[in-house]
């Protein structure tokens, strides 16, 4: 037996190009309350990101950067 489609069925195609087919949020639904991260949590996250990067990440990133983004002609 096929599963009934929800109101925000992503397989439905609209002829309106501005129809984003976003999910409909009902009363009482929404993002869960989340406390702001503490400074220690932010530092731990930053240390994790730095430790997870490959060793040559900084050099590769600098090579991709454009030192002169503006041209004066």
Q: Is residue 46 part of a domain?
A: yes
Give a yes or no: residue 47 inside a domain: yes
Number of independent structural domains in the chain = 1
Please give the residue range of the domain that contains residue 53: 37-65
- In the block, tokens 């501005």 appear at 18
pLDDT in tens, 34-55: 899 999 999 999 999 999 999 8
Residue 26 located in a structural domain? no
Q: Is residue 55 included in any domain, yes or no?
A: yes
Tell whether 23 is covered by a domain.
Answer: no
At 67, phi and psi to the nearest 5?
-70, -20
Q: What is the pTM of this model?
A: 0.41
The string of pLDDT tens digits covering residues 18-39 is: 877 778 888 888 888 889 999 9
- Does 58 fall in a domain? yes
Q: Which residues contact 7 (CB under 8 A, 6 or more apart)?
A: 23, 24
- CA end-to-end distance (rounded Å), the chain: 68
């Amino acid at each position: 037996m096929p599963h009934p489609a929800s109101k925000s069925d992503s397989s439905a195609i609209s002829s309106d190009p501005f129809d984003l087919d976003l999910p409909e949020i009902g009363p009482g639904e929404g993002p869960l309350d989340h406390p702001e991260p503490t400074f220690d949590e932010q530092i731990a996250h930053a240390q994790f990101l730095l430790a997870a990067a490959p060793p040559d990440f900084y050099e590769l990133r600098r090579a991709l950067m454009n030192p002169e983004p503006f041209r004066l002609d």
